[in-house]
Amino acid sequence: MPDDPFVPAIGPDSGVLIRAENGDVVTYDATGLTLRLSDTVLADLRTRLALPGAALDVADHLGDIDAWHLRAEGDWLRFSALLEPDLGPREYQRPVAGGDIIASAPGPLQALLSLGGARRAGFNDGPPGFGYHILAPGDDIGSVGFEGTGTAQPTAGLQRIPHCSRDALIADTLLGWRRGALRGLPLFVVRAETDGSASAADLGHGVAYANFLVALDNLVTAAAALGKRPKVLAVSLDYGPEDIRNTPAAFAAAMRALMRQIERDLAARNLQRPIFLLPFDAAAPQAAAFGAWELAWSHGDHSVALPAPGYMFEQTRFARPTDAGRRRQAEMDAHAIVALTRRESWFCPLLLLAEHQGRTIRVTARALADLVLDGTDPFKAGATCGFSLSGTAKPVQITAVTLAPDDPQSLILTCDRVPDGPEVALHYACGAASCGAVRDQWSAPSRSGGALLHRWAYPAALPLRRGQA
């Protein structure tokens, strides 16, 4: 009978154990067995085992994009591509199991998180400029969380975002500066969680805080999947206008307690203490506004910055920041983050003491640079530069505001009569005026164009004391 090509030939020293139509499958010789695998099986093994030199087809795995040097490394597909023309060819990655393409970036996986009231849920339309570097947890929610209406779920995935929350704009600003300085462009995770808590004390026990903790857990698991260290760079506590219960002292105490609580919950996850950003909005109820003034100089041992007063940003008639205003807010936030990261100070001029002798009031401030009375008056504060008096026995008008000749961080206010009364208070950018014209000498360009950024003085309400002769 002639040899059947599909019947294995077995010899004393070598032979074929299994044969298929396209050739031998299993053979043997003195060294052992030899297994021949198909190209499809080999490609699958290379993908699963991340074998060096794995030749993967871009179109099959990534679709019709300008990519090359595709290879599998563990659970990730890594490749070079031109996806962002302004950035040029760069390295990217995507989970083998599917998901969004993200940048292959150096350093830790950094988080910019925020917790607060409804206003923090606002966002600008359109993705961030560094869209492959600024991500949200992979739960299809985006950079603004559940707004108190749902419960966040655990996920190790990351997704690109179609819109820009304030946290995303902060990350976009930081990445823009790093790119200009030819430094590495890390990955950022952003998430804002808000709810309807009626006081700062309630904020640490509501739905938003529970979802905030899920965001921390998701950061840790996402970083592990990437083989990176997780880091919470900053937490914004954007709460004040919503507080309808507290006194100024109670508001400040509740915010300090919330910062301690957050630090404990980060430590439980082996995360380092973050920078806290506390927006200062003069439109808040007086208790929250004056509580924020107290926090500006008395925030304990936390790493805290109040990046800027709210009156310097354009708002809608509903007291919400415009798109340009939100971008400028984020830029001031970014300046504060950079300063505190370098262990430098960041605060705007803080008015501390008001004393009068006759018709003259001396206002003492604390600032990082000499004070300036901005003659352009961009916020239309008027000739009083945003100062007004309350509690006087008779109406008193402020007729002049000048820099003190003997101290670059003090102001001299002249009145038309002696400001006497049982409880006289000097207001700046609150009360009769909602803005001011006092700043320090620092300035920086804005990426959104328009006027330079400045550190404008925080609102204040100071009891007027009689000075020593």
* Structural domains for the chain: 58-103 (no CATH), 109-341 (3.40.50.1110), 350-466 (2.60.40.1220)
CA trace torsion 256, 259, 264, 269 (10° rounding): 180
The identity of residue 437, as a single letter, is: A
338-348 burial: b if 16+ Cβ within 10 Å, else e = ebbeeeeebbb
Question: Would residue 296 be called left, alpha or beta, if left means φ above 0 and alpha means ψ between -120 and 50 degrees?
Answer: alpha
Which pLDDT score, from 0 to 100, does residue 282 have? 58
Tokens for 125?
Answer: 């339309």
Residue 377: CA atoms inside 13 Å, Cβ hemisphere, count? 10
- Indicate the SS3 state at residue 449: coil
Which pLDDT score, from 0 to 100, does residue 469 have? 47
464 sits in which H/E element? strand 460-466
Distances (CA, A) of 387 to 4, 80, 407, 435: 105, 58, 19, 9
In the DSSP assignment, the letter for residue 312 is: G
Rounded Cα–Cα distance for residues 324 and 306 (Å): 20
Low-confidence ranges of the chain (pLDDT < 50): 1-2, 5-6, 469
Which pLDDT score, from 0 to 100, does residue 360 have? 96
Asked whether the beta carbons of 192 and 121 are under 8 A apart, the reply is yes
Cα Dmax for the chain: 129
Q: Is 140 exposed, middle or buried (0-12, 13-18, 19+ CB in 10 A)?
A: exposed
Q: Tokens 């975002």 map to which residue?
A: 161
Which pLDDT score, from 0 to 100, does residue 326 have? 94
φ and ψ at 466, to 5 degrees? -85, 125
Rounded Cα–Cα distance for residues 200 and 246 (Å): 8
Asked whether the beta carbons of 447 and 176 are under 8 A apart, the reply is yes
Q: Residue 30, Cβ neighbours under 10 Å: how many?
A: 6
Strands 230-238 and 350-357, sheet pairing: unpaired
Closest CA to 67 of 54, 77, 52: 77
Which strand ranges, in their side-by-side order, compose the sheet holding 360-366?
387-390, 425-428, 460-466, 350-357, 360-366, 410-415, 398-403
Outline where DSSP puts E strands in 126-261. 134-137, 158-160, 163-165, 187-194, 230-238
Closest CA to 285 of 239, 316, 322: 239
Closest CA to 66 of 92, 43, 42, 41: 92
Angle between helices 166-180 and 323-341 (to 10 degrees): 60
Which pLDDT score, from 0 to 100, does residue 268 have? 98
φ and ψ at 101, to 5 degrees? -75, 135
Q: Which residues are within 8 A (CB) of 71 and not within 5 positions of it... i.e. 6 or more apart?
A: 50, 54, 56, 77, 78, 79
Closest CA to 122 of 238, 21, 209, 250: 238
Rounded Cα–Cα distance for residues 289 and 430 (Å): 9
Triad 340, 344, 347: Cα angle to 5°? 75
Cα 456 versus chain centre, distance: 21
Closest CA to 329 of 144, 145, 123: 123
Distances (CA, A) of 235 to 166, 274, 291: 12, 7, 19
Distances (CA, A) of 55 to 51, 95, 459: 10, 17, 63
Which pLDDT score, from 0 to 100, does residue 1 have? 44
The reported pTM is 0.87
